Structure formats: C-alpha cells, structure tokens
Amino acid sequence: MTTIAIIAQGEMGAATGRLLNAHGARVLTSLKGRSAASVARAEGAGMTPVDSDDALLAADFFLSIVPPGKAISLAKQLCPALTRAHRKPIYVDCNAIAPETAERVGAVLADTGCAYVDAGIIGPPPAAGHRTIFYACGPAARELDKLSDCGLTVRLLDGPIGSASALKMSYGGITKGFTAIGAAMMLGSTRAGCAQALHRELAESQPELLGWLTRQIPKMYSKAYRWVAEMEEISAFLAGNPPADDMYEDIARFYQRIATVHAAPRASDDELARLTHFCTDAVHAPKLKRA
C-alpha cells in the first residue's frame, strides 16, 4: 500500500486525499491546530491523523498543499523530522508559487536528504467529472507515476525545478487575472449605470465569454483571500517586466478588497451584491439570437 502524507486539509488537500484513499492509498495528515472545518474535511476524506511530524513523514510521498505564502515555512517546519528520517519521503510542493519560490523550497530541503519535486495543480479539487492535472518536474518527478496508480492524473514536464510552477503561474495568471478584469468591469458598469446595456451586448456578441464570467465570478468570492498571495507570486514570476508585474500586484489588492468585503457583514449595495446581481441577470436573462 502506498502511503501519502498531505498538509493541509483545505478543499484541494482534502479532495486529493479522498481520491487517493478511494484508490487504495493510505493518507496521513496532521490536525494539530486545525479548525473544526479542517477536521471534518479530513474525516470525510478518510485521512488518518497522526500526532507528530515524524509519524507524518513515515510516508512514501509528502504533498504540500497550502496557501502560497506558507510553502517555505512548512518546508522549514518539517526539516528537522525530514533530516531525522531514515526512510525519506519524496517531498512534492504542489503550491501556486513562483519558480524562484519553488527553488527556495528546494534549497530549504537540500540538506535533509529527501528528493524534491516541483508540482503545479491545474483544475478544481479532484472529483468525478473534474479535470485536475498534477504537473511535475525535477529529477525525482518520474516517481510520481506511482500516484497515477492511486488515482491522480500526473503529467511530467521536461525541465528543471521551477518549470511546473512557471506553468501554474502562467495558467493562473490568465484565468484568475481574467476573472479580476471581468469583475472590475462589471462593477464599473454598475457604478456608471450601464450594466444592463453591457450585459445585453455581451450576451449578443460574446455569449461564451459572458457564460464563463457568470460561472467563475460567484465562485471567486470565497477564494479571493487565497488568491491574494497567488497574484503576488505571479507578480514575482513576472519581476523585471513592468508593467506586467505591477498589474498583478494591483490584482492582488483587488482580490484583497473582495476578500475583505466577503468577510464583513453583507450590505445590499457592496461589491459582491453588485457582482451577484450582474451574474444572476446573466443566468436568468432570456437567450438572445445573434443577428
């Protein structure tokens, strides 16, 4: 039986654990200091809690699936246990981080003796009918073929550490950047009083685009707080290429504003209410025939 340890138990981590467990793997995790929601997700995914880093790392693979800003600190936290371990797990960083950050994680782990794989997840949390790909690179990446046998879809990239992170940054920069642009323009049209006209024009001339935004924007509200650090990592990925890097710093601030509004008591005229109204109109508006 393949044993995989996962930190943490967010939507992506728990869904990955559930899929691996369903395909016969043993999935370990640590619930120390975790919220009741995290505990419930871990239990629902069939993850086995352990009480120490040493027990957690008695695995074939360790998957780091945490917010981007915690990727390095988690590696540092686990360094003593990784160094002590006689049988080293393969450490797989699956976070949305810049290639330079992926290299820094590798540098933190360099003296532990464990193999390190840079990975990037593209797609929603794994589930039936979902397209979720784990891209991986580095000298030990081929070892992840064993995770393919456990239900994950793994694609190997022919490149050094940082290649998978670069792909993740590029893809996330397009999809999440485009979501931010769409949301900003929906808000702008609402403030200017032309939202109805914009909605009609998009429905007539760009129906696929309107449909995509209508699906993506409402799902963004609860995730915006996690996307702040990811946008900052994309800015770092684009460092030295102004104004592209500055643009993603500004998108990070935009998502921070959305996250702040989402966490506050809901007002009838706040940004989320206006976005929801625009997207709801898009769902219920009659189908328009194109000229």
pLDDT score recorded for residue 267: 82
What the chain holds in terms of domains, given with CATH numbers, is: 3-161 (3.40.50.720), 165-284 (1.10.1040)
Q: Which two tokens stand for residue 3?
A: 């044993």
Kindly give the confidence (pLDDT) of every residue in the chain, 291 residues in length, as a single tens digit, with 9 standing for 90 and above.
Answer: 999 999 999 999 999 999 999 999 999 999 999 999 999 999 999 999 999 999 999 999 999 999 999 999 999 999 999 999 999 999 999 999 999 999 999 999 999 999 999 999 999 999 989 999 999 999 999 999 999 999 999 999 999 999 999 999 999 999 999 999 999 999 999 999 999 999 999 999 999 999 999 999 999 999 999 999 999 999 999 999 999 999 999 999 999 999 999 999 888 888 999 999 999 865 444 443 333
d(CA 30, CA 19): 18
Q: Which long-range contacts (CB under 8 A, 24 or more apart) does 35-43 make?
A: 38/8, 38/9, 38/10, 39/9, 41/9, 41/10, 41/11, 41/13, 41/14, 42/9, 42/14, 42/17
Q: Treating both helix axes as pointing N-terminal to C-terminal, what angle do 195-205 and 271-284 enclose, rounded to 10 degrees?
A: 40
Q: Please report the pLDDT score of residue 266 as a whole number.
A: 81
Q: Is 151 helix (H, G, I), strand (E, B) or coil?
A: coil
57 contact partners, CB below 8 Å, separation of at least 6: 5, 78, 81, 82, 85, 89
Round the CA-based radius of gyration of the chain to a whole number and report it. 21
Cα–Cα distance between 95 and 34 in angstroms, integer? 19
Side chain identity, residue 47: M
Looking at residue 283, its pLDDT comes to 44
- Give the residue among 97, 104, 89 at the shortest CA–CA distance from 66: 97
Residues shown for the chain: 291
* Residue from 234, 229, 237 nearest 248 by CA: 234
**Degrees to nearest 5, angle at CA 127 with 123 and 130:** 45
Q: Which amino acid is at 253?
A: R
- Cα separation, 8 vs 24, in Å, equals 20
The one-letter amino acid at 100: E
Predicted local distance difference test score (pLDDT) of residue 237:
98
